[in-house]
Structure 1
């Protein structure tokens, strides 16, 4: 487990895990980002603490933490991990029901409820253990509370009283956190790590009109941006237009560096046809391609087989939809 945990924790070799608890734990960099929001409250209850990843991140911010879990083994791992990483004086283990156990010192709370049972994963926060409703009922409407939920949550299941922050790490969507009470700052937020840059909005805005054609730059928004419904805000920031209302790639005539999207320099755009694409690449001695699928019904593996390329060159091929039509974009990734 320590070997497997290296991707999440710099000090994994000193820590204790079980397989399930490690799978459910928060990456160190994500926990550090989240802990900063609690800094002013002094004491925080870490509900469903698991192996203590969040409790340790909170303690390293200078907070004192009541780490609560129903499972005494997880509480023991949390306390042992806090000791191993030098914050034992700021983490107190509490074994008990998160909804009922007394927490008299808590000035704020973070909850990471279980989202799996009997091999099933749940997206609806009311199916968690404990449920979102039970957690909010325990702490009250105006209490500083953060609740980690599955990033695939339906938009209809996000309470209107919450800020929904979608967090990605190196382009991979990791989580959604619902912020309540004084911890709610906006309606929607997309945060990209490791840079920590954040994009906000008060709701999902209407997308700009469709682009007439793909320009010289194509942007693939970070999944945190798309899940937060902030593509329109990103388009405005980049002076870009949408290529398709369903796929929501963005295009512009000039490149604006951004942490919120992967940018590509467009070399060639045409309706997708394997033979035509193959001829174009062969003429330019392209022997290796990286295929990226964004909304195309084509199977990248099958497309590669049909291309049968040879040559020293390399290109990216983005298979997508532009104004509803299946399109191939030959491109190179920009830094």
Structure 2
């Protein structure tokens, strides 16, 4: 199952487990920790924590969730930032690893994390985010679980400044506001022309590669058929494909077994990223589902940026999409 970045109050999440950014003495604190204690019932939760007594930095333990809409609270103790020279990254990664392993042992199918150590513990938000996503991604390669990374507001979220500036510059240079476009006819007709031109270009290319009959055959392929063809051409397995696309296994199975399935645009692009398609191949896959890329859509421009950069790290792409208030890929 996939990783989703969501903007929410973590105490409102309805998951099997909710992760608390705890201190080693398991006492009610401030920030996320205080909010979770209050929402769960401070007295009951503190009593449960006192029975355990201690959790080392980098470790994780569980208690009942009491009044929260979850079965468990997993208390993960993150490191205090001391400049990065006292094993902070190793300990932070251990928090996520041990929390996920504990959730799996408890039979959890879903879990919600805050950005551990990025609050009063002072861990730089962009580095905290990278550590979180890296460990979650590594876990999901071998496990099926729906994982949420929950941030309360944009100030709580840390994309690297270098990446943000690069994407913003590309968007500023290539995004065309719809109000700036002066269509000679209605927009629908223009979009149809664009899609027709793209389709004709693909037809010409297919003819040069394999003859008219094969070209017409490919032009009529539904999305699921074209997706499976790309998977074969890229020597990918089904499992590798849907995991790298941040797609749920059940959704992939539905797509695979239904030739007439029409996916959302972000789902198509997620598969394009997983398969590391170039822009032409991405347009081909989009066309099979009735979509195209356009410079009048910021989401599309950001996707184009990452494909041109040959950066197919889907969670990094999702970080950028989240920072620019765009839909995320997969999930």
- What TM-score results when the alignment is normalised by the length of structure 1? 0.32
By relative contact order (CA 8 Å, sep 6+), the higher-ranking structure is 2
Higher helix share: 2
- What TM-score results when the alignment is normalised by the length of structure 2? 0.32
Higher strand share: 1
